[in-house]
Amino acid sequence: MTALRLLLLGPPGAGKGTQARILVEEHGIPQVSTGDMLRAAVAAGTPVGAKAQSYMDAGELVPDAVVIGVAEERLGMDDASRGFILDGFPRTVVQAESLDGILDRLGTKLERCVSLEVAEDGLVARLLKRADLEDRSDDNEEAIRTRMREYRTKTEPLIDYYRQKGVLVEVSGTGDVDEVAHRIREAVA
């Protein structure tokens, strides 16, 4: 049986969004990303969405409590009952612990955490190329390396967190999209 309640974990540029879209197409389950969740909650006018909007309007980061509330709303929707692909949430161990509580309340569990492994220099090159293609002058090497440091300090500890829970699988994120997708399929089968 294929795991259908997944978390894709990896540094910026590892291919999480691309691989999530492939899994969504193959399994007909939703991709649940922090940005999408926040925008949907705001558009739906939910109480948590209104809170998120107030922070976004002020140009501030949305606090964990609000992100967690939005995640709980989203994961409780009917289309996520068969499965989901988490992308960008959780980002910290505190958020992961909150996710555990959400899933407990929903009577389900995370089946796999797929950690996409790519060497940092390869990621920087990939992101610089993407910045050139998309004409994103703000995405320079310094900004990219800052995001990598942020990932290492805040999000990378999730690798050990999910390893200890016995759901972590590490997959090479190097190669073309189809190769990586094949590795993920094998890892979640």
Q: Report the catalytic residues.
A: 16, 91, 130, 136, 147
Positive or negative torsion for Cα 131, 137, 140, 142: negative
- Taking the alpha carbons at both ends of the chain, their separation in whole angstroms is 6
Q: How many residues are there in the chain?
A: 189
Retrieve residue 142's tokens. Answer: 């310094």
Positive or negative torsion for Cα 129, 34, 187, 4: negative
Q: Which residues of 79-111 are buried (b: 16+ CB within 10 A; e: fewer)?
A: ebeebbbbbbbbbbeebbebbeebeeeeeeebe
